[in-house]
Amino acid sequence: MRRSCIDRIFLILSISLIFYIGWFIFNSISRISRDPDEEIAYLHAISGSSPMIHNIQLCSSNEIDLIIIIISSGSQFLERQAIRETWGSMSHIMNVHSQRLFVVGYHYGSGLYKDLLYEAQNEQDLLYLTVNDDSITLKELYAYRWLDKYCPNVKFTFKTDDDLFINSFLLHEIIRELKTNPDQFQNRYLYNSSLDSLFLAHLNPDAHTFLFGWAFQPGKPERNASMVPYYVSYKEYSKDLYPRYCSSFGYLMDSKTRSLLVDEGFKDKYPFRFSDIFITGILPERLNFICDALPFTYHQGTAEQCIDIIKQHNKKTLQLSTPPLIVCSTGRHVAQNTFSDYYRIWTVLKFVFGNRIHTTQSRKSKN
Ligand SMILES: *[C@@H]1O[C@H](CO)[C@@H](O)[C@H](O)[C@H]1NC(C)=O
Ligand SMILES: *[C@@H]1O[C@H](CO)[C@@H](O)[C@H](O)[C@H]1NC(C)=O
């Protein structure tokens, strides 16, 4: 009885050993057969130090006023290309210099290293980080930390996502206003929208709190465990209400505010996974400020609605009662394969806003 029991244990151990050796050999073979570039990328990613690919010359011209951070994903090349050819195509307009920067993370096994390297060399607008491509909060924090190091003199940062459409004419106009005669800040309007709150935050030397976007009142975390991926456990976030925050659609901040947020954000070992709530809500709450409303129109809906909103600001039918559009969603936001949205909205936007602008527009991207 005892003997057969020992035999059986011995048999199980032998089988386990054989499986282990087999697994080990299989792994070694698959490692050898892996693409050598991917192998280097993998080793780089797990060492986790500097970005995989970055352009340290991005801000070397020293005249850049605005960095547009666009959170993307390794595989979303078509979104990036559509943005490069549409709203992200301006780099110097109305005497405002800007630079776009797409942020992607590393995804083990995606096999995208060579493609991204090629894209980065061609476009010079890619920040390929070693952090997990799915960790949006970390991508954003690491991108800001990178800006602190390589773009310290750039005053403004606008953050958005690659499935959205930005009225980049208006965005540049806002920066132009903030740059021009800041001492005469009273009664400054842009398309009948008061810029008072922006100037107050911009000019107050003690306030490191320039953060503006699509502000939401405090809301409840999703506590129903079947509502994946929105479900938030008490361990992740313990309070009953989120603080006021700004939507990930797009927010504008100055570099002082950005640095404050980075320093505070890196104190958390596991930063909250909803980046907009974390970066524009939870962190500002800890630092005693809020994300304020950018006085322009944000719209989540179809491309047709977006185009209609833009058309309202056509010179001929000028209706100033609603502020002009600053950000709207494209079909990509709801995972539709409608890359044409970017081009359709852009055509109308150029017609309505581009015609007003007399300064020359130069393109930096090589296309
Ligand atoms: C949680 O969500 C599921 C799916 O929507 C729903 O059927 C269920 O009733 C919800 N539970 C509670 C407690 O609200
Ligand atoms: C401009 O805004 C003010 C309120 O801020 C409003 O009373 C006025 O009607 C607006 N003008 C136009 C032309 O819409």
> Residues 88-134: pLDDT tens digits?
999 889 999 999 999 999 998 888 999 999 999 999 999 999 999 99
Question: Which residue blocks in the chain are alpha helix, DSSP H?
Answer: 2-33, 36-47, 77-85, 113-123, 136-150, 168-179, 196-203, 255-265, 275-277, 283-286, 303-311, 340-352
- Res 77 pLDDT > 60: yes
CATH number, domain containing residue 177: 3.90.550
Domain extent for 162: 66-366
User: Of the residues 220, 222, 223, 224, which should be mutated to test ligand 1's pocket, given the most ligand atoms within 8 Å of the CB?
Assistant: 224
Question: What atom of ligand 1 comes closest to residue 227's alpha carbon?
Answer: 2
2 in a domain, yes or no? no
Instruction: Tell me the per-residue pLDDT of 340-363, one tens digit each, with 9 for 90 and over.
Output: 999 999 999 999 998 666 444 443
Residue 342 lies in a domain: yes
| Ligand 2: residue whose CA is nearest its atom 1 | 192
In angstroms, the CA 63 to CA 164 distance is 27
CA separation (Å) from 360 to 41, 90, 96, 318, 357? 41, 10, 11, 24, 8
Q: What is the three-class DSSP state of 65?
A: coil
Give me ligand 2 centre to Cα 320, in Å.
7
Residues in the chain: 367
Digit-coded pLDDT (tens) for 146-196: 999 999 999 999 999 999 999 999 999 999 999 998 888 888 999 889 999
Residue 53's DSSP bridge partners are 128
Confidence of residue 64 (pLDDT cuts 50, 70, 90): very high
- Is the CB of residue 331 less than 8 Å from the CB of residue 305? no
Total structural domains in the chain?
1
Residue 24 — pLDDT band, cuts 50, 70, 90?
A: low
Q: What SS3 state is found at 356? A: helix
- pTM confidence score: 0.86
Q: Is 62 in contact with 153 (CB distance < 8 Å)?
A: yes
Ligand 2 neighbour 321 (Cβ under 6 A): yes
What is the Cα Rg of the chain in Å? 24
For residue 250, pLDDT beyond 60: yes
* Omega within 30 of 0 (cis) for the link into 295: no
Q: How far apart are alpha carbons 107 and 42 in whole angstroms?
A: 9
Determine which residue's CA is closest to atom 6 belonging to ligand 2: 321
Q: Is residue 299 part of a domain?
A: yes
pLDDT confidence of residue 360: 40
Q: Report the chain's mean pLDDT, rounded to a whole number.
A: 87
pLDDT tens track for 296-349: 999 999 999 999 999 988 765 555 678 999 999 988 887 777 889 999 999 999
The average pLDDT across 238-247 equals 97
Contacts of 271 (CB under 8 A, 6+ apart): 137, 138, 141, 265, 278
Query: Quick check: is 231 in a domain?
Result: yes
CA distance 45 to 43: 5
Helix then strand then coil, in percent of the chain rounded to 5, is: 45, 15, 40
Kindly state whether residue 39 falls inside one of the protein's structural domains: no
Cβ(189) – ligand 2 distance below 6 Å: no
Work out the percent of the chain whose per-residue pLDDT is above 70: 86
Using DSSP, state whether 228 is helix, strand or coil: coil
Q: 109: which residues sit within 8 A by CB, 6+ positions away?
A: none
Residue 74 in any domain: the answer is yes
Comparison of pLDDT for 204 and 251, the residue scoring more:
251
**In the block, residue with structure tokens 């509502």:** 227
Amino acid 364: pLDDT? 38
* Cβ atoms of residues 129 and 137 within 8 Å: no
Atom 8 of ligand 2, residue of closest alpha carbon: 321
Nearest CA to ligand 2 atom 3: 192
In-domain check, residue 41 = no
Mutating to test ligand 2, I would choose from 189, 191, 315, 321 the residue with most ligand atoms within 8 A of its C-beta, which is 321
Residue 35 lies in a domain: no
Q: CA 23 to CA 52: how far, in whole Å?
A: 30
pLDDT band at 13 (very low <50, low <70, confident <90, very high): low
